[in-house]
């Protein structure tokens, strides 16, 4: 798939990334994982199994050959000791990223279809400041930027939530894009205080998908 390679551009060398079309099957899962998705609809089993298969491939590269990747009551994946990771799927693509906790304390990845976000959703996703930025973009581009804002916020939430267990809404995360570097800065309560500076992530806009990645360095977190 043409945009799939973009996933490898999201992180530096301390993060391993895998991507796959959504083609997983229940047979790909380890027994404990299969039990976790016993009540899922068929499509959800496919995405869950694809994510677990990609995760297994990456965990194997880190020396974990057989590790059932469970999840807690808040859906956070239960990575092996010393590993941090993140999973995302859209209807036709799955992305998984993992790293050692020696290097990375929080990791978030997100992929969404590249089609524009419907204007009626913009005010829910965007803060007033983001909304002003969006209005300054060429009209034909606004829906795709809004979709990317959504993706970046989901990715940031996934990186930060497992560390804090605190829920945020879309209005409590503020994003500033730097299109010249294809990066974003994220402001969330508590994050800047921990890092001592705003966190910076990477986004990519492809023909079929938009993607975002945020890695919070281990040395900068408590
Ligand atoms: C966590 C969340 C962001 C995931 O988004 P999603 O639309 O379900 O879609 P994705 O496919 O990209 O991600 C799903 C994966 O995220 C991971 N995930 C789920 N909840 C998570 C959490 N609280 N923290 C970290 N990762 C989480 C899981 O691995 C899940 O895949 P799996 O169930 O197959 O293992 C979203 O479901 C959610 O709970 N949001 C909370 C409220 C919110 O949206 N706040 C505003 C964000 S700014």
Segment 73-86, tens digit of pLDDT: 999 999 999 999 99
Residue 191 has what pLDDT? 87
Correct CATH for 110-217 of 3.30.230.10, 3.40.50.720, 3.90.470.20, 3.40.50.2000: 3.90.470.20
- To test the ligand 1 pocket, which listed residue (85, 149, 152, 154) has its Cβ within 8 A of the most ligand atoms? 154
What are the residue boundaries of the structural domains of the chain, listed by start?
Answer: 4-102, 110-217
Query: Domain 4-102: which CATH class?
Result: alpha beta
- Using CA atoms, how far residue 94 sits from 52, 55, 86, 119, in Å, is 10, 10, 11, 26
Cα(21) to centroid of ligand 1, in Å?
A: 19
pLDDT tier, 222 (very low <50, low <70, confident <90, very high otherwise): very low
Residue 4 has pLDDT above 80, yes or no: no
Q: Which residue has the higher pLDDT, 218 or 125?
A: 125
Segment 155-200, tens digit of pLDDT: 999 999 999 999 999 999 999 999 999 999 999 888 888 777 779 9
> How confident is the prediction for the chain on average, in pLDDT?
93
- To test the ligand 1 pocket, which listed residue (19, 26, 157, 215) has its Cβ within 8 A of the most ligand atoms? 157
- To test the ligand 1 pocket, which listed residue (50, 152, 158) has its Cβ within 8 A of the most ligand atoms? 158
State which ligand 1 atom lies nearest to the alpha carbon of 154.
3
Segment 51-70, tens digit of pLDDT: 999 999 999 999 998 999 99
Residue 28 has pLDDT above 70, yes or no: yes
Mean pLDDT of 85-95: 96
Question: Pocket around ligand 1: residues whose beta carbon is below 6 Å from it?
Answer: 47-48, 51, 71, 74-77, 87-89, 110, 153-154, 157-158, 161-162, 168-170, 173
- Using CA atoms, how far residue 155 sits from 108, 119, 152, 200, in Å, is 5, 21, 5, 12
Instruction: Give the length of the chain.
Output: 222
CA distance 49 to 51: 5
Residue 112 has what pLDDT? 98
């Amino acid at each position: 798939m043409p945009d799939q390679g973009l996933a490898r551009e999201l992180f530096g060398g301390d993060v391993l990334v895998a991507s796959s079309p959504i083609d997983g099957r229940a047979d790909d899962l380890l027994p404990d994982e299969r039990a976790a998705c016993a009540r899922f609809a068929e499509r959800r089993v496919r995405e869950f199994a694809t994510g677990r298969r990609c995760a297994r491939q990456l965990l194997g590269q880190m020396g974990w050959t057989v590790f059932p990747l469970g999840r807690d009551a808040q859906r956070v994946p239960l990575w092996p000791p010393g590993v941090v990771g993140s999973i995302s799927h859209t209807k036709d693509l799955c992305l998984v990223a993992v790293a050692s906790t020696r290097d990375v304390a929080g990791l978030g990845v997100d992929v969404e279809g590249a089609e524009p976000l419907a204007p009626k959703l913009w005010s829910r996703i965007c803060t007033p400041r983001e909304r002003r930025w969006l209005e300054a973009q060429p009209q034909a581009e606004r829906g795709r930027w809004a979709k990317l804002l959504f993706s970046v916020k989901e990715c940031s939430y996934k990186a930060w939530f497992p560390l804090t267990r605190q829920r945020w809404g879309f209005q409590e995360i503020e994003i500033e894009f730097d299109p010249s570097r294809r990066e974003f800065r994220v402001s969330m309560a508590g994050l800047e205080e921990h890092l001592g500076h705003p966190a910076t992530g990477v986004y990519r806009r492809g023909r079929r998908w938009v993607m975002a990645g945020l890695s919070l360095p281990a040395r900068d977190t408590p």
